[in-house]
Amino acid sequence: MRFELRNPMVLISKVKGANGKIREFATVLDSNWPYSYIPKMDALQLGYSEVSNRPQEWVTLYPSQVATIMSMRGIEMCTVVSLKEVSIGKLVAKDVQAIVYHIEAPPIIPVDVVLGQTFLKNFRIAIDSKAGTLTLT
């Protein structure tokens, strides 16, 4: 699937949650993020009740479900969930690891979900700077 490179590159993704619900989100692809990201309220609606726990408490019981990230507030812990299915058009990835991180400030760009390396690793990526395109296969 070929995308035009633009700034910002906002796409529409579909996420299927643990409870089988499917939601559409304004999404950005970011190969610099090791994880994908979904907001807490959306994760709760998609059936990930574990995100209602504080990561600092959750890490003792389930250390593999907590990630540490660097933010503007310093080093923080986030709950990690496995999104059942994530798709952009015909591109589909299953069991995509995503962090649930509460951002208190309003978003700078109008996106809900960031798809990072945990999504992108499922595809071959080709960037053609001259043509201004990004291709995922």
pLDDT tens across 31-89, in order? 888 999 999 999 999 999 988 887 777 777 778 888 877 766 778 888 999 999 999 99
pLDDT at 105: 57
Tell me the whole-structure pTM to 2 decimals: 0.86
Question: Is the pLDDT reported for residue 22 higher than 70?
Answer: yes
Average predicted confidence (pLDDT) for the chain: 88
Strand order from edge to edge, sheet including 125-128? 2-4, 133-136, 125-128
**For the chain, domain boundaries:** 2-51+80-136
Q: Which residue has the higher pLDDT, 83 or 107?
A: 83
Which residue has tokens 């291709």? 135
> From 3.90.550.10, 3.30.1490.190, 3.30.43.10, 2.40.70.10, which CATH number describes the 2-51+80-136 domain?
2.40.70.10
52-56: Cβ within 8 A, 24+ apart: 53/79, 55/79
